[in-house]
């Protein structure tokens, strides 16, 4: 029997016309290493359990739950109807009610968006931003897709959800090179680590900066670390360090009512 689902919201996205939530692993029916609300179709978890977990989320959001086949890309889609397949992309936007846009993460950054047309009609977006997608421009592409649907750029709001924090994200000393090549100011998101030849990467800060560069003025950050908070979140890096064979994925959702 599942317990009550727990999810985080942010006042920056509060609006009577939309639902949004960054779900934790609490609640759900999965067991073992994926215990709780594992919504990862690509995990080795029992598929019936994953399906039941996703049904719980859809009921909470009161919408048709959509998902992407996430590939750490800058690809963003415009959605106007429900689908059964998972297209390969890492962001999507819509102005249609009842379509719950979701992204799955286990250390990568989930970003949810809300905007409005000139007449006040809502437009939403969701993006999965790992380091590769963020560097490639998935966040800027999500903003652009919302503008193409009619959103006013200066009024678009974004919230960066739970992800691996700088204190938990150790990278090699060569890792920053493509970031600095893209923009020299990226260097400030890397700081010396405790190990020689290693740095700590501020992924959520980098994502916020990319959104600022895209023209957003309203950017919120939940500042919750998925790696250290095992009671609430799955973590790919934590599972890797423990040499566990599988890991769950939490889900983040935004939906026009």
Domains delineated in the chain: 7-165+204-256 (3.60.140.10), 171-201 (no CATH)
d(CA 216, CA 15): 18
Q: Which residues of 62-83 are buried (b: 16+ CB within 10 A; e: fewer)?
A: ebebbbbebebbbbbbebeeee
d(CA 257, CA 23): 18
C-alpha Rg value of the chain to the nearest Å: 17
Q: What is the structure's pLDDT at 3?
A: 63
Torsion, CA 157, CA 160, CA 166, CA 168, rounded to 10: 180
For 213-229, write each residue's pLDDT tens digit. Answer: 999 999 999 999 999 99
d(CA 34, CA 38): 6
Higher pLDDT, 162 or 154: 162
- SS3 label, residue 188: helix
User: Residue 104, exposed/middle/buried by CB under 10 A (0-12, 13-18, 19+)?
Assistant: buried
State mean pLDDT over 38-49: 96
Rounded to two decimals, the pTM is: 0.97
């Amino acid at each position: 029997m599942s317990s009550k689902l727990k999810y985080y919201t942010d006042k920056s996205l509060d609006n009577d016309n939309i639902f949004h939530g960054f779900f934790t692993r609490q609640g759900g029916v999965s067991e073992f290493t994926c215990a709780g609300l594992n919504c990862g179709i690509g995990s080795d978890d029992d598929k019936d359990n994953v399906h039941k977990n996703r049904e719980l989320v859809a009921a909470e959001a009161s919408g048709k739950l959509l998902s992407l086949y996430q590939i750490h890309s800058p690809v963003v889609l415009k959605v106007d109807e429900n689908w059964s397949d998972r297209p390969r992309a890492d962001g999507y936007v819509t102005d249609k009610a009842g379509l719950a846009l979701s992204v799955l993460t286990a250390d990568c950054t989930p970003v949810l968006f809300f905007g409005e047309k000139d007449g006040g009609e809502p437009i939403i977006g969701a993006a999965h931003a790992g380091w590769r997608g963020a560097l490639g421009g998935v966040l800027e592409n999500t903003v652009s897709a919302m503008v193409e649907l009619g959103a006013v750029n200066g009024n678009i709001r974004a919230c960066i959800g739970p992800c691996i924090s700088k204190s938990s994200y150790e990278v090699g000393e060569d890792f920053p090179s493509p970031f600095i090549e893209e923009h020299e100011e990226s260097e400030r998101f890397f700081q010396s680590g405790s190990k020689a030849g290693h740095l700590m990467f501020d992924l959520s800060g980098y994502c916020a900066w990319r959104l600022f560069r895209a023209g957003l003025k309203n950017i919120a950050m939940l500042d919750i670390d998925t790696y250290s908070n095992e009671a609430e979140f799955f973590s790919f890096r934590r599972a890797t360090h423990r040499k566990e064979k599988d890991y769950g994925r939490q889900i983040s959702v935004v939906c026009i009512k």
